[in-house]
Amino acid sequence: MVDGFDFVRSLRVAGFDFFTGVPCSLVKGVIATLEKRGCYIAETREDAAIGLAAGAYMAGKQPVVIMQNSGLGVCLNALSSLSLIYTLPCLLLITWRGYQGKDAPEHVIMGKILPDLLTTLQIPYHVLEEDSVEKSIAWAASTLKQTSCPTALVLPPGVIT
């Protein structure tokens, strides 16, 4: 597994410098690292985090919004009527609860439709794998620059500690 500390370091090396979101247990280590560095803004809702990231981007930052996939449901309007039409990029780090159908009932449907939902929204994404995390981060950074629109890294269980 990739250490949360190392994952944050890779994000920062890739240029990301504004972190907000709503937590998930799968990114416990990531958020703990960001909190320790004093560079995480704990939002109240995922769509508000998309708004916060939009403002940060316009003020010169490269934002990351961390959320559970349940939060992607909350974000549909913020993404479609703000980020995508204004071309405001942010990296979405979305945890994949309900992965392969194995999870608590509230996660099963969103777990099943997550890839299709991102495809429908035309948000490009990579599913993170332990041995190619760095590559995926580099891909996300360059895709964000190219498209100037939100791009997602999807995090299944067991990849980051």
Partner 1 sequence: MTSGIASRKPPEMTLAGALCVVLPLVQDELVVHANGFISRESFNLEDRLGNFYMIGSMGLASSIALGVALSKPERRVVVFDGDGNVLMNMGSLALIGARQPRNLVHFVFDNEAYGSTGNQPTISQHVALDAVARASGYIDVRRAETPDQLQTAAQALLARAGPSFLLIKIEPDREARNISRITHEPPQIVSRFMGAIRGEQPDLGNPQDS
Measured in whole angstroms, the distance separating CA 19 from the mean position of its chain's CA atoms is 10
CA angle at residue 62 from 137 to 50, to 5 degrees? 100
Q: How far is the CB of 82 from partner 1 (least distance, A)?
A: 4
Q: Which stretch binds partner 1 (CB under 8 A): 24-32, 79-87, 100-108, 113-121?
A: 79-87
Window of 66-74, 78-86, 111-119, 136-144 that interacts with partner 1 by CB under 8 A:
78-86
Q: Which is nearer to partner 1, 44 or 131 (CB)?
A: 44
Among 80, 119, 120, 122, binds partner 1 (CB under 8 A): 80
Instruction: Report helix, strand or coil for 92.
Output: strand
- Name residue 152's beta-bridge partners: 92, 125
By CB under 8 A, residue 1 contacts partner 1: no
CB of 66 to partner 1, least distance (A): 15
For residue 93, what are the β-bridge partners? 66, 153
Q: Number of C-alpha atoms within 13 angstroms, CB side, residue 155?
A: 25
Q: What is the DSSP letter of 154?
A: E
Using CB under 8 A as the binding rule, whether residue 38 contacts partner 1 is answered as: no
Interface residues with partner 1 (CB under 8 A) are: 18, 41, 43-45, 47-61, 63, 77-78, 80-82, 85-88
